[in-house]
Amino acid sequence: MLTNINFKAKDFKTDLSKPLDISIGLRGDAKNPVAWYLGAPKITPVKDGDFIGKVSEGASVNFNTIQFNPHAHATHTECVGHISREFYSINQTLKTFFFLSKLISVEPETRGEDKVISEAILKENIQANETEALIIRTLPNFREKQTKKYSHTNWPYLSEEAAVYLRNCGIEHLLIDLPSVDKEKDGGKLLAHKAFWNYPKKTRFEATITELVYVPNTIEDGAYLLNLQIASFENDASPSKPVLYKLL
């Protein structure tokens, strides 16, 4: 199904029958990706006396309880409520769901024991007012990202200057294939989060960060229509399903 979209007085066309899902689903087993020192999520049937909520065990329905953390276990989208003293809900701050986006692939630079996505790297790939949303695919890109155990791995991260640059470029929605835009162990500084949201000076309440996406190598760098869907959680973050559509 072809449809037309308009962005800053420019018309684009896309085919909504050809979605490119870049989310990581939630599994109830050890194959699930895990970060932040937690165990695997759990999906288990409800048990109440003799009742087990599983059709194969004699119940009329499958009736599961799911235990997980959105930041640690799957693709998730967060608002500034993730770092603020005040409560802000992603369900209340993200109100539109289609955005012009750009996918870029970058190889973080080495700084001592760290791998850093620097301002210089981003300047080679994105310019001011080019797009509303940016998806960053880090290189090398392996399918193992979908099952990786990230705790204590010192994953690559965004420098504070890089986050400021993206904010100044007008990026409202940032997506990345890592558990966090910040360094795993930074003493709670959260410099990239704070810089991107411009918190607490002139907070960009409408801006979002989506982490733990996975972009297969078959999806080429370039411009896409992004559909960013969340579950209606009144929480700082929600599991999410970002889907790309190639612009024609």
156: domain CATH number is 3.50.30.50
Determine, yes or no, domain membership for 240.
Answer: yes
Determine, yes or no, domain membership for 174.
Answer: yes
102-160 tens-digit pLDDT? 999 999 999 999 999 999 999 999 999 999 999 999 999 999 999 999 999 999 999 99
Cβ atoms of 94 and 228 within 8 Å: the answer is yes
Please give the residue that has the higher pLDDT: either 34 or 6: 34
Structural domain span for residue 152: 2-24+70-246
Determine, yes or no, domain membership for 33.
Answer: no
178-199 tens-digit pLDDT? 999 999 999 999 999 999 999 9
Determine, yes or no, domain membership for 105.
Answer: yes
Task: Please give the average per-residue pLDDT across 5-24, as a whole number.
Answer: 87
Task: Please give the average per-residue pLDDT across 68-88, as a whole number.
Answer: 98
Determine, yes or no, domain membership for 49.
Answer: no
Determine, yes or no, domain membership for 146.
Answer: yes
| The pLDDT value given to residue 188 | 97
With a pLDDT cut of 90, the percent of the chain lying above it is 95
Tokens (6 digits) for 1? 């199904």
| The pLDDT value given to residue 7 | 73
Whether the upstream peptide bond of residue 200 has omega within 30° of 0, thus cis, is: yes
Upper half-sphere CA count for residue 87 (Cβ side, 13 Å)? 5
* Average pLDDT across the chain, whole number: 96
Q: What is the tally of structural domains in the chain?
A: 1
- Give the angle 115-84-96 at the CA atoms, nearest 5°: 85
| The pLDDT value given to residue 9 | 61
66-77 tens-digit pLDDT? 999 999 999 999
| The pLDDT value given to residue 2 | 78
pLDDT surpassing 80 at residue 41 = yes
**φ/ψ (deg, to 5) at 129:** 60, 25
Tokens (6 digits) for 172? 């409202």
**φ/ψ (deg, to 5) at 29:** -150, -175
Determine, yes or no, domain membership for 65.
Answer: no
Determine, yes or no, domain membership for 192.
Answer: yes
The partner residues of 52 in beta bridges, in order of sequence, read 47
With a pLDDT cut of 70, the percent of the chain lying above it is 99
pLDDT surpassing 90 at residue 64 = yes
Cβ atoms of 123 and 8 within 8 Å: the answer is no
